[in-house]
Amino acid sequence: MTRAEECAKIQEAIEAIDFKGEYVSHEKYGSGHINDTFLVRFQREDGTIVKYILQRMNHHIFNPDQLMQNICNVTSFLREKIIKNGGNPDRETMNVIPTKDGKPYFKDSIGSCWRGYAFIHNATCYDQVEKPEDFYQSAVTFGRFQSLLSDFKADTLYETIVDFHNTPKRFETFKEVVKKDICNRASGVQEEIDFVMSRAEDMKICTEMLKNGELPLRVTHNDTKLNNVLIDNETGKGLCVIDLDTVMPGLSIFDFGDSIRFGANTAMEDEKDLSKVSLDLNLFEQYAAGFLEGCNGSLTENELKMLPIGA
């Protein structure tokens, strides 16, 4: 697609979504890899500039109908809860901007799917832990997300990525890959393979507890990284959970564990020097404290006990 054709498709989407005012400009925005994100500016009659987020969804990974139904149901539920609690629903949850004909997303003339969100001003997301307080605030925010959705019927949501946290199934795939060893690499990582194989029984603990009713099915985010939380620029407090594409039924302990994997790690996810990679227990403790504060007593005793296993 040429640059001119690309611009035409973006403009087609901008005109289809119910952004208020007169179009001013748009530009690429953010550092995401899955969707294409743009910041769009409109001008109101009084001259003020309003910002919106426009995203072209990756329909090769997600089913747009199921994805947007999940997001609309969850954000509507959150909005009601935030209002009831005296919060600001325009800043504390994402808000979908429908198309001009009332649909949650727009499909353009070549089949690309676009959605609009209200832009949350005066807030920042960070790609890496710059100071422990930011990590703590992300924990509080993800914990609050759990708490607010604790009475949402998780089984009404679509599973946007099937078997995403089905650890036993992942383990079976792992064993199959090791057995085939099509790239002849297994001999070089035998110690690591043995480490995983010796923990075969651990792989099914969480799914068995869910099956037996010992852990409740929850609404889970499934990508609980620091950069999926907006931090208020003025207060420094965690404000809003963003990037809801992987919101689906799951276990609260997996959301906790994913945050630990990302945030309590002493190196970036793609670090090649393994000597730099370790678990910072101080960050682990800070996140655990913040997550529990945000959950505000909504977790069961078994969930609390199993948080370290989630990690």
Q: Rounded CA gap, 80 and 71, in Å?
A: 14
Model confidence at 115, in pLDDT bands (50, 70, 90)?
very high
- Say whether pLDDT at 32 is over 80: no
* Mean pLDDT within 17-35: 91
Q: Are 151 and 81 a contacting pair, CB within 8 Å?
A: no
User: Tokens 């977790």 map to which residue?
Assistant: 299
pLDDT score recorded for residue 60: 87
Model confidence at 39, in pLDDT bands (50, 70, 90)?
very high
Q: What are phi and psi of 240, to 5 degrees?
A: -155, 140
pLDDT, averaged across the chain: 94
Q: What is the pLDDT of residues 51-103, one digit of tens each?
A: 999 999 998 889 999 999 999 999 999 999 999 999 999 999 999 999 999 99
Least confident among 112-126, 209-223, 252-266: 252-266
pLDDT score recorded for residue 130: 78
Least Cα distance to 263 among 279, 274, 252, 276 occurs for 279
Least Cα distance to 256 among 289, 297, 234 occurs for 289
pLDDT score recorded for residue 295: 97
Q: Rounded CA gap, 158 and 254, in Å?
A: 17
Task: Locate 242 and state its tokens.
Answer: 């963003």
- Say whether pLDDT at 201 is over 80: yes
What is the pTM assigned to this prediction?
Answer: 0.92
pLDDT more than 90, % of the chain: 82
- Say whether pLDDT at 249 is over 80: yes
Q: Return the SS3 of 5.
A: helix
Q: Are 140 and 256 a contacting pair, CB within 8 Å?
A: no
Model confidence at 8, in pLDDT bands (50, 70, 90)?
confident
pLDDT score recorded for residue 221: 97
Q: Rounded CA gap, 214 and 304, in Å?
A: 12
Least confident among 26-35, 58-67, 162-171: 26-35
Cα 81 off chain centre by? 20
Q: Return the SS3 of 229.
A: strand
Task: Give the Å distances, CA to CA, from 180 to 166, 184, 194, 200, 251.
Answer: 22, 9, 16, 19, 32
pLDDT score recorded for residue 179: 96
Q: Return the SS3 of 107.
A: strand
Q: Are 38 and 29 a contacting pair, CB within 8 Å?
A: yes
* Mean pLDDT within 108-119: 95
- Say whether pLDDT at 208 is over 90: yes
* Mean pLDDT within 111-116: 96
Ordered domains of the chain (ranges, CATH) = 7-121 (3.30.200.20), 132-163+213-310 (3.90.1200.10)
Q: Across-strand partners of 248?
A: 220
- Say whether pLDDT at 266 is over 90: no
